[in-house]
Amino acid sequence: MKRGFFLLLCIFVFQRSASQWQTQSSGTTARLRGVSAVSATVAWASGSDGVCLKTTDGGANWEAATVPGAEALDFRDVEAFDADTAYLLSIGEGERSRIYKTTDGGKRWRLQFTNRNPKAFFDALAFWDADRGVAVSDSVDGRFVIIKTTDGGANWNEIPPEKLPPALAGEGAFAASGTCVITEGKNNVWIGTTAARVLRSTDGGDTWRVATTPIPSGQPSAGIFSIAFRDARNGVIVGGDYKKEGEAHDNVAVTNDGGRTWKPAKGPLPRGFRSAVGYAPGVSILVTVGPSGSDYSLEGGASWAPIGGAGYHALSFTRSGVGWAVGEGGRIARFKAFM
């Protein structure tokens, strides 16, 4: 009885305090698909037309950080560590897939990696810390392409193909929100694919395993779009078919064994396709976003309720639960659970 009352109280407080995203002025009309929340005051965002944005005052002001020569690139992912240090990943075939880094708040950018494989198409990157990270491409000739750095991006080295599971025909990842690959702890990393499979490594990318999931796939527009882990064992994936946004069939799945096995959540996301999911760690709330709106769960994905407001493509939360979401037309909104 006490637990049930507490849950109802949490739902009431959550709905009263965070039922609407607090929109902010980004100063751009670019499509934003990358966001990285660092603290209650610092966050970075990225998107089309070479756009990179930063706030140091909680989003009251967003400042553009220009990347010279990148005006035509689409920055689908940004990973930041403070107000000075951030990585950007641009998508595209061949040399359009690049990684840049700044250590002075965006005043200067260093081009760290340019993809020389004409068949590769990089989708996202993720980091354990400011020095160690991975980036993933769609598969090439039946093999996944994953690169790794251990020195802050000074060198990006491809993980030998023989250490990776074979890819299915045409298998890749969705460059939709920068969250198809996620890291946790010191060495855990997971990648959700277009074939609705999850690759996982527990040793920093040295060895890999793959697991099937119940997320729908079989079409180029369907599969896993986002993955999040609360800890080393408990995680969630979301997706669906972005061409069928209203379908809500098996579009969310969960694991409690580190990604070895996945099962459908007890309740599907009621409004269909979602492109990003994240834990608000400070309060253990799951939040998910997509073009048609956003939802939250207080029960680890067992049931969902809508959050008011427009749709978004990507989101990011700090450990305390402060977060931002980004979307079409330069849309940015701030969210803090239980304000």
pLDDT attached to residue 304: 86
pLDDT attached to residue 320: 85
The rounded distance, in Å, linking the Cα atoms of 150 and 253 is 31
Q: Does residue 212 have a pLDDT over 60?
A: yes
Query: Residue 276 corresponds to which tokens in the numbers above?
Result: 């990003």
Secondary structure of residue 222 in the 3-state scheme: strand
* Tens-place pLDDT, residues 61-96: 999 988 999 999 999 999 999 999 999 999 999 999
Q: What is the DSSP letter of 163?
A: G
Query: Residue 58 corresponds to which tokens in the numbers above?
Result: 């909680």
Q: Does residue 10 have a pLDDT over 60?
A: no
How confident is residue 303, by pLDDT bands cut at 50, 70 and 90?
confident
Q: What is the DSSP letter of 216?
A: -
Percentage of residues in the chain with pLDDT exceeding 90?
78
For residues 227 and 184, the answer to whether their CB atoms sit within 8 Å is no
Q: What's the average model confidence in pLDDT over 206-212?
A: 96
Query: Residue 303 corresponds to which tokens in the numbers above?
Result: 């049931």
Average pLDDT, the chain: 91
State pTM to two decimals.
0.92
Q: Does residue 259 have a pLDDT over 70?
A: yes
Range name among 1-10, 48-57, 229-238 with the lowest pLDDT average: 1-10
Those residues with Cβ within 8 angstroms of residue 168's Cβ, 6 or more apart along the chain or in another chain = 139, 195, 197
Percentage of residues in the chain with pLDDT exceeding 70?
92
Those residues with Cβ within 8 angstroms of residue 6's Cβ, 6 or more apart along the chain or in another chain = none
Q: Does residue 13 have a pLDDT over 70?
A: no
Number of structural domains in the chain: 1
How confident is residue 281, by pLDDT bands cut at 50, 70 and 90?
confident
For residues 79 and 120, the answer to whether their CB atoms sit within 8 Å is no
Residue 6's φ and ψ, nearest 5 degrees, are: -65, -40
Name the nearest CA neighbour of 42 among 27, 59, 23. 59
Q: Does residue 11 have a pLDDT over 70?
A: no
Q: What is the CATH number of the domain that holds 229?
A: 2.130.10.10
Q: What's the average model confidence in pLDDT over 133-160?
A: 97
pLDDT attached to residue 2: 47
Range of the domain at 96: 2-336
Please indicate whether residue 68 or residue 8 has the higher confidence score (pLDDT). Answer: 68
